[in-house]
Amino acid sequence: MQRMKDLRQYIEKLEQLEDIRHVDRVVDPHLEMAAITRRSYDLHAPAPLFSNILGTDKGMRAMGAPAAISSVAGKPAARVALSVGLPEDASWQEIVECLATSTKAEGIPPNIVATAPCKQNILHGADASLDRFPIPYLHEGDGGPYCNTWGTIVARTPDGKWTNWSIARIQKLDAHRMTGLIMLPQHIACVWEEWRKIGKPMPYALVQGCEPALPIVSSMPLDDYENESDYLGGHFGEAIDVVRCETIDLEVPASAEIVIEGHLSIERECEEGPFGEYPGYMVTETSMQPVYHVECITYRDDAIWPFIPEGRPIDEFHTAVGVAMSAEALSMLREADLPVTTVWSPLETANHWLFVTVPSDWRDKLPGVDSEAFAYQIGQKIWQTKYGSNCPVIYVLDDDIDPTNPADYLWALPTRTHPTKRRVIDRGPILPLLACYTDEECQEHTGDRVVHDCLQPAPDRGRLRHSSFEGAYPEEIQSRVIELWDR
């Protein structure tokens, strides 16, 4: 496993793959920078690195599409794979398997270092102004520029027992204030509630531009009181270096480009949103949220601010959350002794669907259990977890298809899903950001979920062969055709 220890090392690797595009002309952080990045998603183009940004301090840079679909031919998952320490040609299934395996590794606590490059510049008080930085206005119709779409929020419970690293959207209000979505069951909301109980504002650090694995791990739905820093150390087999903050009792990743320090208010006192979220629609809803007060900013020389203009698939929300949620679900189902091959949240569905594939011999491992009961067990296990509220639709399929390949699942789903039968509908908690629910369901945080039993008969009980090149012709014919035709 090759760990990219900071964002700059990662960018150097993308340079070698010709998967970075330098944008040296003047660009406006008001919509233009985000529009260029959205266009790069549509074209599967190299990630844009902006170095001449209107209205920001000299030397400030920004990076779009840091973990989007790669432009490298035949290696669509390269950016995500490299981010988590895998070769650039790793498949989506291999990435999920790797992260799922790491959930069982013994965590390694972080290592505190005396200083780090993010201390090269230190701003306090009035000098700690967000106006110095290339904070993008991402979509026409957003409530304002958004300071956080790919950074990590560091927060610790008052008792010091849990240090959480997570991602949540944060909107800029002015030079010294931000507001952001604080919504259960997200862990940032859990930590904030603990501070509310004792009537004290929550110390926080917003970290931009860390080593590339960090935003992906910050997206993972780990268990309560499980530190992402320890998981990341266990994943790489070595401790993550952290450095103490200047004004609050927190440590942040030493690989950071920019660190914003301050306190989060205990009252919901400011309107946040609207924001073009990951389902792909420009919503109009706003809500009252706490205020992040900015008290100190530290940053590297020529700092890089990564960002993602979330929206219609495929962008980093879909790649990072899709991979993270799939890995956590795979680990949990295996821990429950359910025979599963892999789990995948298809990127094209804006993470509204979840596929679970199972081996052909699953009946041998679960004697007396029929396919509908098996599918229901899988659905119940997933819906009982923290991330279950993100999974309104689950399909249980045989592993004779690749669930990450749209050509496979767009064939398998319509031919194996009965229009009205072999499904179980359940009602429970939902994430109100999901676009498939009614306004009433979103307000109540409760709605219907469904698991579809798409399993075929057992191989010796009537399962049909694929009418395909691999399934309908003897191996010797296949070999001859490949030899003569694929020259």
- Do 132 and 145 form a contact (C-beta atoms < 8 A)? no
Determine whether the annotation assigns residue 150 to a binding site: no
Residue 259 β-bridge partners: 207, 298
Residue 291 phi, psi dihedral angles, 5° rounding: -110, 130
Q: Which has the closest alpha carbon to 358: 320, 412, 407, 418?
A: 412
Return d(Cα 153, Cα 253) in angstroms, integer: 11
Determine whether the annotation assigns residue 228 to a binding site: yes
For every residue of 289-305, DSSP letters joined together read E-EEEEEEEEE-TT-EE
**Residues 468, 417, 95: CA angle, nearest 5 degrees:** 70
Determine whether the annotation assigns residue 187 to a binding site: yes
Residue 446 β-bridge partners: 429
Determine whether the annotation assigns residue 169 to a binding site: yes
Read off the tokens for 45. 């183009």
Q: Which amino acid is at 466?
A: H
Q: Which residues contact 189 (CB under 8 A, 6 or more apart)?
A: 182, 183
**What end-to-end distance do the CA atoms of the chain give, in Å?**
35
Q: Which amino acid is at 308?
A: I
Determine whether the annotation assigns residue 305 to a binding site: no
Return d(Cα 439, Cα 424) in angstroms, integer: 23
Return d(Cα 100, Cα 329) in angstroms, integer: 8
Read off the tokens for 321. 């959350």
Read off the tokens for 239. 């401790």
Instruction: Give the other-Cβ count within 10 Å of 477's Cβ.
Output: 11
Read off the tokens for 447. 């709605």
Instruction: Give the other-Cβ count within 10 Å of 383's Cβ.
Output: 20
Return d(Cα 130, Cα 148) in angstroms, integer: 12
Instruction: Give the other-Cβ count within 10 Å of 105's Cβ.
Output: 14
- Do 129 and 174 form a contact (C-beta atoms < 8 A)? no
Return d(Cα 2, Cα 98) in angstroms, integer: 13
Residue 437 phi, psi dihedral angles, 5° rounding: -100, 160
Determine whether the annotation assigns residue 440 to a binding site: no
3-state secondary structure of 389: helix
Is 238 noted as a catalytic residue in this protein? no
Q: Which of 211, 257, 272, 277 is catalytic?
A: 277
DSSP code, position 466: P
Binding-site residue positions for prenylated FMN: 169, 186-187, 228
Positions annotated as catalytic residues are 277
Binding-site residue positions: 165, 169, 186-187, 220, 228
Binding-site residue positions for Mn(2+): 187, 228
